[in-house]
């Protein structure tokens, strides 16, 4: 495993960071608590020290599972990354910008983007309780909120750093103009954004800016929710309430299948899976600090961590880039 400094902070994160969206169950066809906790343990046993979650992931369940998994583990040896700004319980008076409606466990919920100072303070206290910790290593604004001035949001996170509630503050899903606006008040440690072989839009403007200004990039969906593993081209089925039934429809699946067929010989030569090759390629891209990889069982967790064992030469990286030319935005 490699450990990388996040932006302008002293945080050292594992290059492969555990992504805890799926273990929350919501939008992913449910979850198995035992498997989820074992996956976190296996990740840590294989060098993954950073865990990325959010209150929205399972409406608190993901954070609670991380707390359960970390019982008996030295808190200083792991980094907890969580978020704020997606509210659903109605206690905010339906403030903020409506995002979407969702059904969860028979409940119809409305989700709002809301990042006022008062809401941030409230959410952090709730996350600290669910996570059973007295500090968060990296707190991130989950999605921009057009109803709250960005300077109010950034000032709130700066205050939380001074109070010792969080070690560092970042943002997520921020385009370049908004990232620049946020930085006028407080330069975030990181920006968590979607990035994969099939989605390289950030390379044009966002990455050059973050590199120049020492802002880390946390890449999410590097596997495009499992599509780039290749298993969904081998008759793998999804539960009816799994959001990927619709998510995969945005891609030209025949084109993606062709790409994976080209990558397969490289993976085989490295004695690796397609998923491992894709993850390793992502960790080697300019400006990418860490890459999120979800795992719902021990096997997936170990496989993700071991992706860092793959060595890719400059020639091999150029070959892969040649295969990706049709996917560059």
pTM score of the predicted model: 0.93
- Provide the token pair at 37: 């906790």
Q: What is the pLDDT of residue 91?
A: 57
Query: 10 Å Cβ neighbour count for 202?
Result: 23
Q: What's the CA gap between 222 and 197, in Å, rounded? A: 7
- Provide the token pair at 179: 């990232």
The 10s digit of each residue's pLDDT in 56-65 is 998 999 999 9
The 10s digit of each residue's pLDDT in 68-92 is 999 999 999 999 999 999 998 765 5
Q: What's the CA gap between 238 and 254, in Å, rounded? A: 19
3-state secondary structure 97-140: EEEEEEEECCEEEEEEECCCHHHHHHHHHHHHHHHCCCCEEEEE
As annotated, the active-site residues are 57
Q: What does pLDDT average to over the chain?
A: 92
Nearest CA to 143 among 85, 63, 59? 85
Q: Percentage of the chain surpassing pLDDT 70?
A: 95
Mean pLDDT, residues 238-266 taken together:
83
In eight-state DSSP terms, residue 307 is G
More confident residue, 304 or 26: 304
User: The domain 3-223+276-310: what is its CATH number?
Assistant: 3.20.20.100
Domain coordinates in residue numbering, the chain:
3-223+276-310
Cβ within 8 Å of residue 244, ≥6 positions away: 225, 226, 227, 238
- Provide the token pair at 103: 């059904």
In eight-state DSSP terms, residue 213 is T
């Amino acid at each position: 495993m490699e450990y990388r400094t996040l932006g302008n902070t002293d945080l050292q994160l594992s290059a492969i960071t555990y992504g805890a969206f799926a273990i929350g169950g919501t939008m992913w066809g449910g979850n198995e608590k035992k498997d989820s906790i074992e996956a976190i343990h296996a990740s840590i046993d294989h060098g993954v020290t950073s865990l990325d979650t959010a209150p929205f992931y399972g409406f608190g369940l993901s954070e609670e599972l991380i707390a359960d998994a970390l019982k008996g583990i030295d808190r200083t040896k792991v980094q907890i990354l969580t978020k704020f700004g997606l509210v659903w319980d109605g206690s905010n008076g339906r403030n903020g910008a409506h995002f979407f409606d969702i059904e969860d466990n028979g409940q119809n919920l409305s989700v709002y983007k809301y990042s006022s100072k008062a809401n941030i303070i409230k959410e952090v206290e709730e996350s600290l309780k669910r996570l059973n910790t007295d500090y968060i290593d990296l707190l991130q604004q989950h999605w921009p909120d057009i109803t709250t001035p960005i300077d109010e949001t950034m000032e709130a996170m700066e205050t939380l750093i001074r109070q010792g509630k969080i070690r560092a503050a970042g943002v997520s899903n921020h385009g370049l103009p908004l990232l620049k606006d946020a930085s006028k008040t407080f330069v975030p440690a990181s920006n968590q954004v979607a990035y994969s072989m099939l989605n390289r839009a950030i390379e044009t403007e966002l990455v050059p800016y973050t590199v120049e200004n020492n802002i880390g990039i946390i890449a999410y969906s590097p596997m495009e929710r499992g599509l780039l593993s290749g298993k969904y081209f081998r008759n793998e089925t999804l539960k009816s309430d799994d959001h990927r039934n619709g998510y995969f429809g945005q891609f030209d699946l025949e084109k993606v299948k062709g790409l994976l067929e080209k990558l397969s010989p490289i993976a085989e030569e490295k004695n690796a899976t397609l998923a491992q090759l894709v993850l390793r390629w992502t960790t080697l891209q300019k400006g990418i600090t860490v890459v999120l990889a979800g795992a719902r069982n021990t096997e997936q967790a170990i496989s993700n961590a071991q992706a860092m064992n793959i060595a890719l030469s400059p020639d091999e990286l150029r070959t892969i880039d040649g295969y990706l030319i049709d996917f560059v935005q």
